[in-house]
Structure 1
Amino acid sequence: MPVISSVIHTIDKKPDGSPAILHLRHTELPQTDVLENLLSDFNDAYNGKQSKGWGLFHAESGAYPFSGWLKAYFEGKNDFMQFSRDAVEHLTKLMEESNLSVGGHAMFVHYRQGLTDYLAIALLHQSTGVSLDQEMNVVAAPHLDFGHVHLAARVNISEWQSNPASRQYVSFLKAKQGRRVSEYFRDFIGCQEGVDSAGETRTLLKAFSDFVETEDLPEESAREKTQTLVQYASSQAKMGQAVGLSELSELLDEDRPRAFIEHLRTQDYGLSEEFPADKKVLNKFRRFTGRAEGLSISFEQHLLGNKLEFDEQNGTLLIRSLPTQLLEQLKRATEA
């Protein structure tokens, strides 16, 4: 994950309403192992965040100038330091206008992973821990706190440049609280939400449940495929990568690698070929199974409260909309 260019500027803004003071760094950060570790730690923390949005840049304008500065940098019209200065000055202005946030360290990193270029942007804060010096004395040890990053975004530069129709080349953190704070940072990046990752993930899981039912898979096979889907989607989310439906289809059935993708297209679920998975939705997807005295029950967790209603006090499970095959068997048994 080589770093191409990077810099950190500091915005000193206190919550007492006093004006923000911008401290600019005038040269790029030197290429060191420490810098590589910093980027790795940031990406690990960023990828682990569950509340993320995915989208695209607004059209460049006076209100949304960021993409224009970024484009000028990649076209060689401005260098990285000029890009970062324009951007952090704009961020400071928006921070002043919002009057909602304290300052921090504004990090800009252009790096390459494989053949793909990325730009990471984040507002970082320092925390103080403890360490030991060479004489084994206990000393204060300030460090950048990646565990509490709330304002950050990442741009897939290669996708932005090569696929103008894409609606998911920018990812950004969504604040669990203080929505207005995250909105001013999103305005700084100049991006709009283009993909409903939670909705897409729910649709994928619904399509998978329909597929399992249509294929009439044995319970063991259904459980294995469920585990494969969740592991693959979770792994992609952890790496900050999108779920690929064709790739997932191949993983679900090596003997029939097109089976699931053909099911998706036949039923027309409207899923994008690639989309970011939502970790919250994935974490709630489980398959419940039980077998006793000739009774076998298996269902996906998301059906609870919809097709299934569990009464804990009476130990009963109400099933609505029985599978057609089961319903026909019951009718024939009743008529006999």
Structure 2
Amino acid sequence: MPVSIREVAQRAGVSVGTVSNVLNRPDEVSAESVDKVTRAIDELGYVRNDAARKLRAGISTTVGFVVLDGQNPFYNDVVRGAEDEATRHGIAILYGNTDEDHRREKLYLDLFEEQQVRGLLIAPYGDVTSRLQRLRSRGIATVLVDRFSGDGRFSSVSVDSVVGGRMAAEHLIQTGRRRIAFVGGPFDIRQVNDRLAGARVAAENAGDHIDLEVVATAAMTVDEGVAAGARIVSRPRREWPDALFAANDLLALGLLQSLVVDGRMLVPDDIAIIGFDDIAFAAAAAVPLSSIRQPSRMIGRTALRIVLEEATDPDSIARQTVFQPELVVRASTRAR
């Protein structure tokens, strides 16, 4: 069992309060008492519970981070960026994956509220505004991650997904593609809607000769991408699109896998594929995957810095940090 502060006091022959003062306010204690307590600590091997001390003082050393999809390497990189920044400040990250599930999201929010974390970073699933307002009323600073705060109530760190969607579709059009299928879902995820909105802008700007359809998926996973690819290939050949814009790279990799296994549609000769996020696996795919890159680690680092600043100054004004996406072209969208 760990040595208690009471045992230290007994060994030193002083009160528990004196030991506490030696640990926290040594300038208020006599040199003799400091010497007695120090020797008792050394003899017993006492290790102070710094986390408990800070918790009693109302200063938590943890920040909660709730992500939308823990299987997506993009979010892993965002969390890694937050962890790198947290380490610099002596803060630990408590991590929760909602897996696009409202019940799991509520469970983690309940947990982090009970733990009285110093701050909360969240890539939300749906609308959690009222819940985040409650957390803030309890002194827990909150920053949205990978989601723009439309009403400006909360600080947010995101990438302009509308611009990214437009860039992806414009690239496909510039390579000569005219029948584009947007593959993604569910559509209660804001990022999916934004990326589709950007693609629609690009199609409209290009004129009536561009056909943009939507192939809905139940989730943003490789398996859903494989299933969507199978549905597309099962159509009559005259109904095949000549380009696919996947709402994220996991879907794009699933689409690529499905098409490669089937073998009837060659990438990029018959059909081009572009994803979103530019995860590490994109460049290593059987056909290297074009993608819209997000600065994932920078998003995490920036969000952590903001939440700590707001935890220190609750009256600070919410800020919206929006990074611009970058088009990364690889073999999967080579021009015909």
TM tier, smaller: under 0.3
Higher strand proportion (structure 1 or 2): 1
TM-score, length-scaled by structure 1? 0.23
Give 1 or 2 for the bigger CA radius of gyration. 2
TM-score by length of 2: 0.23
Bigger share in helix: 2
